[in-house]
Amino acid sequence: MLVSVAIPVLDGGSLLRDVLSAVRRQVVPDGVELELVVCDSGSRDGSVEAVVRAGGEVVEIEPASFGHGTTRNLLMERSRGELVAFLTQDAVPASDRWLARLVAGFDASDRVGLAFGPYLPRPDASPMVARELTAWFARLSPDGAVRVDRLGEAERAIPPRDLYGVRAYFTDANGCVSRAAWAAVPFRPIAYAEDHALALDMLRAGWAKAYVPDAAVVHSHEYGIWDWLRRSFDEARAVADLYGLTDLGDLRRLARGVRGAVGADLRATGGLGAAGGRAGRYPLLVRSLAHHGARAAGTALGARAAGLPPALAGALSLERRA
């Protein structure tokens, strides 16, 4: 069986080289062959050369033609694997068995179209980001077992909003796609949340998805406060449209969420009474309030993006989408 690893790239830098090295170290079962296919959209930092040295095939496109769904469909078309494992240029497989474990996820049940694994925070991740990632992926499988989600025939017409959250979650920063399933249900050519849309569409088409807790990648982001707001704006706009979430920007709910997240950050790091006294925790309190407050503000604005002037929406978007 041929399995492909597919990565969209733009100026991947040293993290891309880490990803490529980790892919080359993968130990796959007997009879499994691995290919590496990268779509580069205008790198100028040697990323293309790094992929070639790693034995990968490079598909080059113009920067303006990049699209999250469109480019991943192109990678599916240009790869040959029965299964195609997607990474991003900064998602580093955490073990040399990462790919083998993802592939094994397709044996967890019948008609599995998607398998995915968690993110581990980088060693230098902020306490807020580290706790958020750890808590989210723990929700997907509290007992650490492979989780399989599917929809019964009677459920396939339920509103998308009823599937928002754990049940329909999928990520193509660490996710594997069955070619047979993709042939029937490709990525939507949308600007954002293409992985959420793919999971929704596949579940509705009768395919299952498997979450594999031990198929982890090291993948987390750190932004300044303004860019956290902008990233959350993009996320909220996309998921509100996709799932039909008319109340995503509810201010009271967002305020409660900020309060709960800040409390969780303080508990995760020992609370205000930890060594160093109460004053020693105030810098974290300030950072946590700023972080979660910016994310809440971005969510509130993103949920209302349709009513904003295009120029303002473009300024608020981290990806500069009007």
Eight-state DSSP code of residue 185? S
| pLDDT tens, residue by residue, 271-288 | 654 444 444 456 889 999
| CATH number 3.30.9.10 is the correct assignment for the domain at 2-218 | no
Under 8 Å CB-to-CB from 64, ≥6 apart: which residues? none
Domain ranges of the chain: 2-218, 225-316
Give the span between the Cα atoms of 225 and 227, in whole angstroms: 6
* CA R_g for the chain: 20
- Bridge partners, residue 84, by sequence: 4, 177
The mean of the pLDDT values for the chain is 94
Average pLDDT over residues 113-141: 96
pLDDT of residue 322: 72
Average pLDDT over residues 240-265: 95
Average pLDDT over residues 24-43: 95
**Could you tell me if 26 and 99 are in contact, meaning their C-beta atoms sit under 8 angstroms apart?**
yes
| pLDDT tens, residue by residue, 48-103 | 999 999 999 999 999 999 999 999 999 999 999 999 999 999 999 999 999 999 99
pTM of the entire predicted model: 0.93
pLDDT of residue 282: 62
Average pLDDT over residues 218-227: 95
pLDDT of residue 191: 84
Q: Kindly report which listed range (171-185, 260-274, 282-296) carries the lowest average pLDDT score.
A: 260-274
Average pLDDT over residues 124-153: 96
Average pLDDT over residues 264-270: 89
DSSP letters spanning 41-56? SS--SSHHHHHHHTT-
